[in-house]
Amino acid sequence: MINIGIIGVGLVGSELISQLAAYASHAPKISVIALTNSSKQLLSTSAYSPLDLSTWKQALQAQGTTANLSVFIDYVSNSPVPAIIIDNTSSQEIASQYPLFLKKGLHVVTPNKKAFSGAETLYKEIVEEAKNNNKLVFNESTVGAGLPIINTLKDLIRTGDKINRIEGIFSGTLSYIFNEFSKSGDDGQKFSEIVKVAKKNGYTEPDPRDDLNGLDVARKVVILGRITGMNMCLDTLPVENIVPEPLRNLATSSEFLSSLPEFDSHFDNLKQTAKNNNQTLRYVGVIDPIGDESGVKLVSLPLSHPFAALKGSDNIIAFTTQRFPNPLIIQGAGAGAAVTAFGIFSDILKIADR
């Protein structure tokens, strides 16, 4: 038996609760005893008995008390059986408290990239506290949502393989944009039009510049780089921001989208140059433990390259190692509530199984 406290019950959190509820009907060894959003929290009122996951939304609204993270963590950490904190937020403030959660005897599972890609001091403190307190920290869904990327990398390293290179298309948004842009003909959709469609369909952040600046991909590169043992930091990682420089400081997303067509010719030229060389454009992140090529950039790849055949908004990651000189490739949906929740759920089960 293991108890769970869930921080963040929005899109991903709600989907996770749905998956846990379906699982509990035939294997009730995981109990949700507490959940919270930014304004309210709901704690089990009967000696750490499980919350009713079929009515949690109504209960949170009607019976929830004012959110207080300190009270929430103290409650979960006093669980009579092992307990996990699930952080479904993207909050730096919450991520910075992971060492405290571990000191209080809690395991941590999260899709929050901040703790693993931000300050190296925080990252090292999390690793140290997990070791000192014999607790587990799993973050599979920080890279590629539910794709088994982090687990595969750790297994390769644990079994003594040597990582020579990791490269991938880590952004579902940029995968979609460049897959669509590359397949459009000379008279097809312009880059700006594809970005607008991506935003309309919910593929981008509210401001697409938050995707196009490469920071999200950079965070994923740093996460994987640190697992390989590299001292990698966001501040020093080369990242190509493909937002045209005159548009980077515009006040609103609407202004950006209105002005982006002025730079369609720039992107058309990049596409035509690639086409002339029988290549295609892809936005790629690279982890290079044995060289000096780690970074994030827009590249032209031969049409024979595995990344060139990608479709839709899929992610694809290639591990080149001593054992796998022909890369080990993982491909699939790298974004979305269902697959992200799946990644979190699989981490929960790994801890429960132990």
214 assigned binding-site residue? no
**9 annotated ligand binder:** yes
Q: Is 197 annotated as a binding residue?
A: no
Question: Is 318 in contact with 156 (CB distance < 8 Å)?
Answer: no
Quickly tell me which residue has 């908004």 as its tokens: 313
**CA distances (Å), origin 130, targets 123, 152, 223, 232:** 11, 20, 17, 20
Consult the annotation and say whether 221 binds a ligand.
no
Q: Is the alpha carbon torsion for 210, 214, 217, 218 positive or negative?
A: negative
Single out the catalytic residue among 114, 135, 220, 271: 220
Q: Coil, strand or helix: which one is 187?
A: coil
Q: Is 217 annotated as a binding residue?
A: no
Burial of 53 by CB count in 10 Å (0-12 exposed, 13-18 middle, 19+ buried)? buried
Q: Is residue 121 helix, strand or coil?
A: helix
Q: Which residues are registered as beta bridge partners of 296? A: 239, 285
Contact partners, residue 226, CB within 8 Å, separation at least 6: 116, 117, 120, 123, 232
Q: What is the dihedral sign for C-alpha 335, 338, 344, 347?
A: negative
Q: Which residues contact 251 (CB under 8 A, 6 or more apart)?
A: none
CA separation for the pair 214, 208 (Å, rounded): 11
Sign of the torsion formed by the C-alpha atoms of 62, 63, 68 and 73: negative
> Does the annotation mark 220 as catalytic?
yes
Q: How many CB atoms lie within 10 A of CB 171?
A: 26
d(C-alpha 341, C-alpha 19), whole Å: 8
245's tokens: 């420089």
CA–CA distance, 139 with 343 (Å, rounded to integer)? 8
12 is in an annotated binding site: yes
Q: Is 113 annotated as a binding residue?
A: yes
Which residues, in sequence order, are CB contacts of 140 under 8 Å at separation 6+?
Answer: 146, 148, 149, 150, 151, 343, 344, 346, 347
Residues of each annotated binding site for NADPH: 89, 113
Q: Which residues are catalytic?
A: 220
Q: Which residues are annotated as a binding site for L-homoserine?
A: 205
In the annotated binding site for NADP(+), the residues are 8-13
Which residues are documented as binding site?
8-13, 89, 113, 205
